[in-house]
Amino acid sequence: MRRVRYNVAASLDGYIATAAGGYDWIPQDSTVDFAALFAKVDTVLLGRHSYRAAKQAGETVWPAGSRVFVFSTTLRPEEHPDVTIVNANADTVVANLRTEPGDGDIWLFGGGQLFSRLLVAGQVDCVEVTIAPMLLGGGIPLSASGAPEVQLTLEGTTQYPSGMVTLNYHVRGTSR
């Protein structure tokens, strides 16, 4: 079974981007081992807002050659030929991706709404949050309002010179 990993950077107060989608508050830190993540991932999942923000950034922010699925009911597939637009049944699509052959990981890139929807459907295995030493005071939340209450198990932590700290969890289940 392939794992779905919600791997994001967040501020200490739980935002993954500013309200405008900005990421410039995340410290550049060359000691963060993106290579380890990229080596394991072959599939990327994004909501519409996260996809727009990633395209605006203009860089390759996921492993080259990955299959990219963007969950949106408004984007037109013909305008985004490099990705697969999924406009219905996100839960089923992800459930099918998880049972595909192979052992590549599925990177849930963001955002909070897609995360919350997949949590409800029991389709998220790991939550990996790199906390930047910032309070944003607002922005795009790590988990959407109204998401279920979910218990996690801490797997480990990593501290970086920039003051970022990665907290790795696996999902135990919803408690209510």
The residue ranges that bind a copy of itself (CB under 8 A) are 12-15, 25, 116, 119, 127, 129, 131, 133-138, 141-154, 157, 159, 163-165, 167, 169, 175
Rounded CA-CA distance 11/121 in Å is 26
Name the residue nearer to a copy of itself (CB basis): 67 or 170: 170
Name the residue nearer to a copy of itself (CB basis): 104 or 109: 109
CB of 12 to a copy of itself, least distance (A): 6
CB of 105 to a copy of itself, least distance (A): 20
CB of 171 to a copy of itself, least distance (A): 9
Name the residue nearer to a copy of itself (CB basis): 60 or 157: 157
Q: Is 110 exposed, middle or buried (0-12, 13-18, 19+ CB in 10 A)?
A: buried
Best CA proximity match to 140, nearest among 28, 11, 45: 11
3 state SS of 141: strand
Contacts of 64 (CB under 8 A, 6+ apart): none
